[in-house]
Copies of this chain bind each other. A is one copy, B any other.
Amino acid sequence: MPKIGMEPVRRKALVDAALRVIGDQGTLSVTMSDIARTAGVSPALAHHYFGSKEQLLIATIRSLLAQLRDDAVAALQAAATPRERLSALIRVSFRAEQFAPETIAAWLAFYSEAQRSEDVRRLLVIYARRLRSNLLASLRLLCAFDDAERIAEGAAAMIDGLYIRQSLRSAPISIEASIALTEDYVNAHLRATDGGSSPSP
């Protein structure tokens, strides 16, 4: 069995397994054994490649973040106008995989961990900043500077809030309804702050 060049393969398998196990159990208190078993290797190997559970978790978050970034980049490239880019960002946030119960459970677990681990916190801050600045870039072309800041802040909060509410699975909101709520928010404010399409000078 021992073929050369296994390292990247195992690393990926372990990261994917970690995400799955964490999503299923809804907590970071999963054992290295669980993760390793899901990845089809021994617990010792997980330690061999990642050194510690913490490092494996961090790699897992990085992987989630990278996927989210790639999705956003792709969606933005396919959009032509600022308004379309705005909608693309909203749509990406509610992608089916991202909005799946296990993914949301994993995100929640990471947010909770961020209270303790500075490394985890820093990674989540990157996500928050990126979402905000992406929204801002489009909004600045659609309304006054100050309004753009406020709307971006509000839209980001609404997106995150829809996620957390989804995690309780009582009266779950559909993906389309979530997108509609966020779009409505943006529309109402773009309309309220000026005629509808005159960007700041």
List the B side residues contacting A188 at CB < 8 Å: 185, 188-189, 192
Contact A125-B170, Cβ < 8 Å, known A116-B26, A192-B191: yes
8 A Cβ contacts from A167-184 to B: 167-171, 173, 181, 184
A95 contacts the other chain (CB 8 A)? no
In the complex, the count of this chain's copies comes to: 2
List the B side residues contacting A189 at CB < 8 Å: 184, 188
Q: How far is the CB of A157 from chain B (nearest CB, A)?
A: 4
A77 contacts the other chain (CB 8 A)? no
Listed A/B pairs (25) with beta-carbon separation below 8 Å = A25-B115, A26-B112, A26-B115, A27-B116, A105-B115, A111-B164, A111-B168, A112-B112, A114-B167, A115-B167, A125-B170, A129-B170, A129-B171, A150-B184, A153-B181, A154-B158, A156-B165, A157-B158, A157-B161, A160-B160, A160-B161, A161-B164, A185-B188, A188-B192, A192-B192
